[in-house]
Chain A
Amino acid sequence: MPMSQLSPEDLLRNGMRVDGRRWNELRPIKMEVGVLDKADGSAYIEHGKNKILVAVYGPREAHPKHIALPDRATIKCRYHMAPFSVDERKPPAPSRREIEISKVIREALEPAILSEYYPRTSIDIFIEVLQSDGGSRCAGINGASLALADAGIPMRDLVAACAVGKIAGQLALDLSDVEDKLGEADMPVAYMPTYDSVTLLQMDGSFTHDEFMAGLELAVENCKRIYQMQKEALRRQYLEVGGEGASAGR
């Protein structure tokens, strides 16, 4: 059945979602670090059908100079969807939605970055969504923390993010685009596991109080799983770089 003819009830049949997942399952995730030569740090992440490239530059001289802060680094973040990332061509200029997402991603990452180590500089994050299928802000955050770590920027913790939502009256993890559009609620959560801190919490639609609490718990639990994947991806990259001698010592 074409996606456009689905009704909200079709989203969950016999406990199965349209893509064959159960309510508490994440989509398959693939992470790669250090994919771009020219950027100081970079990452590529596939989260279901989302394909996202992240580049980080910095700390570098802040330009224009007036954006420099005397006591810490300025963090700039650009979330951008490629014109070909969605079904209908998206104009390349930043939309209202992209500007907002850039802001919330920046604010989700800021608590992790020790920006006070590099006063008067700027750290620039570029998140380019090559293909989008719902939950791209969360995947963008996951990719951006990897790219920041890859750039050697001091961070308290990696930030992991995932969303929970409600489809056909039932709580569901990690909504895809169609589930987001036909579902009743969507709640992206970004989380720093080491400090047990939530750095992003947004909500679209409505949850009851109990659903909200259960949803938050589910999101946090799965952020922890994503966090482990992130750590693995980083270690893998550097073990390859360092060769087998990397852990053998001098």
Chain B
Amino acid sequence: MVAPLLVGRREIVVPGDLLAEGDLRPGDNVLREDNRIYALRVGLVDLEGGRVSVVPLKGCYFPRPGDLVIGRIVEAGLTGWEVDILAPYPALLPMSETYAKGQASKADLSAIFFTGDMVIAKVIAFDRTRDPLLTTKGPGLGKAFGNRVVRISPMKVPRLIGRKGSMITMLKRETGCRIIVGQNGVVLISGRDDRAERVAVEAIYRIEREAHTKGLTDGIEDMVRRELGR
């Protein structure tokens, strides 16, 4: 028999809380010591397939290979760019990972991405010993478009996307805006008119604030419809 959780599912736990004893396997943000599983961060308890984890409520963005991120060019070097992706590590975007052609020189690099430009990129490699490596080769990647940039907590990104993208799909449909969500919490919004964009921004902030409430997708849908007078 699988040992039960000692705390309720989706209950708020704090570091040091004992979550389970016995057979359950440790997932993310928990620590197993002598058959006991403890919480490592403030968050909500989750149990899936015999794995206990804590969904953190706060924290910094930690890059993972495959993540889509939106960053800002900090500096053009000799062979690539340094990009701020709001992680504890500076990211590197080498010349070879862009569609740039020709010889690398500092002047050429600035012509492609200038310091301060926003880029949509994918993390291709990252581990404990190396800084994250980005690529802008691929559909939808490259210099960022958009009229508005919104920054939310990276821990709230999954909620903004929703189960199988339900939330973000709804938001795009209802506001008619193009919205790109970076895993690092940066969101780009570009719409037909100013009003739709403003509503989208407001909705995103509300999702961040109320990330843990029930029936949020429906609430947001109502709000957007009301605001846009539909």
Interface residues of A (CB under 8 A from B): 40-41, 58-61, 70-71, 112, 114, 118-121, 149-158, 192-194, 227, 230-231, 234-235, 238-239, 241-250
Given contacts A152-B59, A154-B41, A234-B42, contact A245 B88 (CB under 8 A): no
* Residues in chain A near residue B108, CB distance under 8 A: none
Asked whether B228 is an interface residue with its Cβ less than 8 Å from the other chain, the reply is no
Give the residues in chain A near B210, CB-CB below 8 Å: 243, 245
Contacts of B66 in A (CB 8 A): none
Given A150-B58, A152-B41, A152-B58, CB of A70 within 8 Å of CB of B129: yes
Q: Could you tell me the distance between the alpha carbons of A202 and B15 in the complex, rounded to whole angstroms?
A: 25
A242 touches B212 (CB 8 A): yes
Contact (Cβ within 8 A) A157 B15? yes
Is residue B38 contacting chain A, with contact meaning CB distance below 8 A? yes
Given the known interface contacts A118-B88, A154-B40, the answer about A247 and B58 at a Cβ–Cβ threshold of 8 Å is no
Across chains A and B, which 8 residue pairs bring their CB atoms closest together, nearest first? A152-B59, A245-B213, A157-B16, A152-B58, A155-B15, A242-B212, A154-B40, A121-B88
Within 8 A of A (CB), among B1-49: 8-12, 14-18, 29, 31, 38, 40-42, 44
B101 in the interface (beta carbon within 8 A): no
Q: Is the CB of A158 within 8 A of B16?
A: yes
Partner of B9 from the list A71, A155, A242, A249 (CB cut-off 8 Å) is A249
Which one of B12, B18, B40, B90 contacts A238 once the chains associate, using CB atoms below 8 Å?
Answer: B12
Query: B128 in the interface, Cβ–Cβ < 8 Å?
Result: yes
On whether A249 and B14 interact (CB within 8 A), knowing A40-B60, A121-B88, A241-B57, the answer reads no
Q: Are A246 and B58 in contact (CB under 8 A)?
A: no
Inter-chain contact A245/B60, CB cutoff 8 Å: no
In the complex, B83 has a CB within 8 A of chain A: no
Nearest-Cβ distance from residue A109 to partner chain B, whole angstroms = 12
Bound complex: CA A150 to CA B60 (Å) = 11
Given the interface pairs A61-B90, A118-B88, A149-B41, the reply to whether A235 lies near B60 with Cβ below 8 Å is no
Most buried by B among A155, A192, A230: A155
Give the chain A neighbours of B58 by CB distance below 8 A. Answer: 40-41, 150-152
Q: In chain B between 90 and 141, which residues have their CB closer than 8 angstroms to a CB of chain A?
A: 90, 128-129
User: Besides the contacts A238-B12, A247-B8, what 12 more A-B pairs have beta carbons closer than 8 Å?
Assistant: A149-B15, A149-B41, A152-B58, A152-B155, A156-B15, A158-B15, A193-B16, A194-B38, A230-B14, A234-B42, A235-B12, A243-B212
Contacts of A227 in B (CB 8 A): 16
